[in-house]
Amino acid sequence: MTTTERTQAQGALRGVQVLDFGQYIPGPMLGMLLSDQGADVIKVERPGGDPARSEPAFATWNRGKRSVVLDLKTPEGQAAAVALAKKADIVIENYRPGVADRLGIGYETLAKDNPGLLYCSIPGFGEENPHRNERGWESIVAAATGVYQHIDGAAEPLFLPLPAASTFAALVASVSVTMAMVARDRTGKGQRIEVPMHSAMFSAIGRHLVKLYDINPPDLFNLPRNVMSHQYKCADGRYFQSHGMYQRFVSQLMAAANKPEWIEELQGLYGAEVAPETVAMWQDRFEKMYLERTAKEWEDAIAEAKGVGTICKTIDEWLVHEHAIAGKSVVEIDDAQYGKMKQPGVQVRLRGTPGAIQGRAPKLGEHTSEILADLKNGSAPAATPKGNSENIMHALDGIRVLDLCIVLAGPTCGRTLGEFGADVIKIDDPSRPYDVAGNTDVNRGKRSIQINLKTKEGLEVFYKLLESADVVVENNRKSSLARLGISYAEMSKRKPDIIHASLNAFGYDGPWSERPGWEQLAQATSGIQVRRGGRDAAPKLLPYPMNDYGTGLMGAYAVALAVHERNITGKGQSVDSGLALTAALLQSPYFLDYEGYKRDEPEGLDVRGFSAKSRLYRAADGWVFLHCPNDGAWQKLAQLADFSGLASDSNGDSLTKSLAAVLAGKTRSEWEKLINPTGVSVIANRMVSDFRDDADIRKAGLIVERDHPGMGRADHLGSVAKLSETPMRVGRPTPLLGAETDEILSEAGYTGEQIESMKLSGAVVQHQA
């Protein structure tokens, strides 16, 4: 792609006009996700440009956009912005609350002349949060949401250099905005959407929010989690991420290892509580076993045996890997500043209306004359409310989803569709073991039917349910579903307008598309684990399963795009994404390369921040994160008595030691009150256990407590985005497996006699109270 070429938009958002006032990462990344699906995104920049222009990843976050420079502190700049907003379908801003209003581009002002406008705000903190009016810097929000954890019993918390909060805000916002567009297709109404970074991070915390008050279920995954799913050092000193949470993967790994004598014994420990000494014995066996070969030899042998595992690679290795290139997880853009540049590919793939990167990132103000001229002569089309005048409560009212998913990513997609109003029927395998905490997290808001799809009758039930469905979501490999007789080709023959969403580990393009995988493998193969542990040490996992939850959200984004397309054309299609594609987005500041690029990013277990002025420090009662955004704020901080001797100190080890000595002298709350008014931000570094019961967290609905059938009281994730006209819903409590089998079959037209017959044959199972 050349520096001047722009592709002709063909995606589901073709013809959609977006006005992007975003800065840094969350707003621009949202704009990028919309642009990649065909939207025409105009990036509005202040004189001097987006501060993130100094970052190479600006080229990723702002690709495919046009740039116009407007000074929103002048009447002329505000007037131009308002005029552009009249013609927009979507407005994006990530200012602190009140700033957009002061600049003349608040929701009330813009919606007055454009009632169909979808206005998305991404502040740092939500309305109920005590930090609502403070700057929501990435590291500040991360510290407040348990991202910087103590790992392996370390005395100090570990910093994470990935922009997790910004990324999840963009992901949640992309789903929310597109759902609002789906609603507008039907109602003609615009609305205001707010996705605080702090709230969005709760989507990433996910199952770690679950707390079961009345039961203590056995851990039936203890052995596979700590033995099969683990990083092991190999003969060449490199690490290999082994996996296999289900019993069937044991024989495949043992075939690759030439140890068939272990199969029966190891398989017998699945689905049961296993003594710690037994787990330790198997860990020792596996450690010795993996030392017998190099990491590459293990990767090849396990792949040949259809098992699960991958080398823990560096990001540089993944950027040139044959699958990453062939699967377009990595693409090359001809950037105006950096030349040929590797970037993340398009995250979600719509097979009927494929998105595409529309072009490189713009130069500052590159399109100012063009855009203002179009505005002046009226050549740009005016936005008009779209759709009919239906009265709906939620964006997906009337949409039925069949959810065939397991583990986290796929069920998160189904849960998210339910949160936006869909009737989600969870189809569960009667023979599959389930993790209670994970099930509580991702399967609320659904109804459950247990079907044995390996039987003729069970498959017939699936296709009967398909008759009333709009969407099918699954996270299987294509070949495994095809063996059951389920495929998009077969489904679309029976129901041409069906939307089929599929999620997997490595994406559906490229040589690894049929390989099984989990969260840990996406982190291992993409460079995340090596960065976290350090290149010369054992790799480490992220604090939360971010690829799983992020991919689930991206699956919901893809479905919303497809529903919008179907609203316009009446056509269904297949859509897909994968964990490794999400891993690229999570690493966006580093997921790049170009001639002359020198990789120098924080990695390893000693990392506490980016610099002395942006890092973790110990206060008198715990850890805080301090972030100084600029020299002006630093000078104001230095005027405080406690910091008066630091004004001329360099931003290095000396300053780190000086700040550490000062900050140890007061409590976290004392420093927040003293420091935050200077423009330097400081916040307590907290874990889930620290904020679980906070009144503001509960009031915001980020964590809710409810009674669940068969489990009693349980905490779980609530709603993370606010939509003014079609709000999210928490949905019904998580059902017991098969609790609604009879109900769902009756709705489908089966008689009581037919249902009982299918139960006797084992085709379906109804939970017995």
d(CA 113, CA 13) in angstroms, rounded, equals 22
Per-residue pLDDT reduced to its tens digit, 449-482:
999 999 999 999 999 999 999 999 999 887 888 8
CA end-to-end span of the chain, whole Å?
Answer: 61
pLDDT for 385 equals 55
Hunting for tokens 């294509």 — which residue is that?
478
User: How do 400-403 and 471-474 pair as beta strands?
Assistant: parallel
Q: What is the mean pLDDT of residues 710-715?
A: 95
pLDDT for 116 equals 97
Order across the sheet with 239-242: list the strands: 231-233, 239-242, 309-311
Q: Say yes or no to pLDDT of 614 above 90.
A: yes
Q: Which tokens go with 112?
A: 């007055």
Phi and psi at 335, nearest 5°, equal: -85, 150
Per-residue pLDDT reduced to its tens digit, 496-538:
999 999 999 999 999 999 999 999 999 999 999 999 999 999 9
**Residue 503 near residue 409 (C-beta atoms within 8 A):** yes
pLDDT band at 650 (very low <50, low <70, confident <90, very high): confident
pLDDT band at 203 (very low <50, low <70, confident <90, very high): very high
pLDDT for 384 equals 53
Q: Say yes or no to pLDDT of 388 above 90.
A: no
**Residue 682 near residue 625 (C-beta atoms within 8 A):** yes
Q: What is the mean pLDDT of residues 648-664?
A: 88
Q: What is the mean pLDDT of residues 41-54?
A: 98
d(CA 556, CA 561) in angstroms, rounded, equals 9
DSSP lists the bridge partners of residue 723 as: 193
**Residue 420 near residue 490 (C-beta atoms within 8 A):** no
d(CA 414, CA 443) in angstroms, rounded, equals 8
Per-residue pLDDT reduced to its tens digit, 401-413:
999 999 999 999 9
pLDDT band at 377 (very low <50, low <70, confident <90, very high): confident
Q: Say yes or no to pLDDT of 687 above 50.
A: yes
What is the DSSP-derived secondary structure letter of residue 643?
A: G
Q: Say yes or no to pLDDT of 594 above 50.
A: yes
Per-residue pLDDT reduced to its tens digit, 165-187:
999 999 999 999 999 999 999 99
pLDDT for 768 equals 78
Per-residue pLDDT reduced to its tens digit, 252-295:
999 999 999 999 999 999 988 999 999 999 999 999 999 999 99
d(CA 332, CA 63) in angstroms, rounded, equals 12
DSSP-assigned states of every residue in 744-759: HHHHTT--HHHHHHHH
Q: What is the pTM of this model?
A: 0.97
pLDDT for 386 equals 54
Per-residue pLDDT reduced to its tens digit, 87-98:
999 999 999 999
pLDDT for 4 equals 41
d(CA 345, CA 61) in angstroms, rounded, equals 12
**Residue 417 near residue 396 (C-beta atoms within 8 A):** yes
Per-residue pLDDT reduced to its tens digit, 536-589:
999 999 999 999 999 999 999 999 999 999 999 999 999 999 999 999 999 999
**Residue 599 near residue 590 (C-beta atoms within 8 A):** yes
- Residue type for 61, please? W
Which segment of 129-133, 152-156, 646-650 scores lowest on mean pLDDT?
Answer: 646-650
Q: Which tokens go with 157?
A: 């918390």
pLDDT band at 383 (very low <50, low <70, confident <90, very high): low
Q: Say yes or no to pLDDT of 363 above 70.
A: yes
pLDDT band at 678 (very low <50, low <70, confident <90, very high): very high
User: How do 118-121 and 40-45 pair as beta strands?
Assistant: unpaired
What is the DSSP-derived secondary structure letter of residue 262?
A: G
pLDDT band at 390 (very low <50, low <70, confident <90, very high): confident
pLDDT for 648 equals 67
pLDDT for 725 equals 98
Cβ-Cβ contacts under 8 Å for 367 (sequence gap 6 or more): 42, 66, 67, 68
Per-residue pLDDT reduced to its tens digit, 310-340:
999 999 999 999 999 999 999 999 999 999 9
Q: Say yes or no to pLDDT of 598 above 80.
A: yes
pLDDT band at 5 (very low <50, low <70, confident <90, very high): low
Q: Say yes or no to pLDDT of 381 above 70.
A: no
Q: Say yes or no to pLDDT of 3 above 50.
A: no
d(CA 105, CA 139) in angstroms, rounded, equals 27
Q: Say yes or no to pLDDT of 86 above 60.
A: yes
Cα maximum dimension of the chain? 84
d(CA 674, CA 682) in angstroms, rounded, equals 9
d(CA 25, CA 166) in angstroms, rounded, equals 6
Q: Say yes or no to pLDDT of 129 above 50.
A: yes
What is the DSSP-derived secondary structure letter of residue 363?
A: P
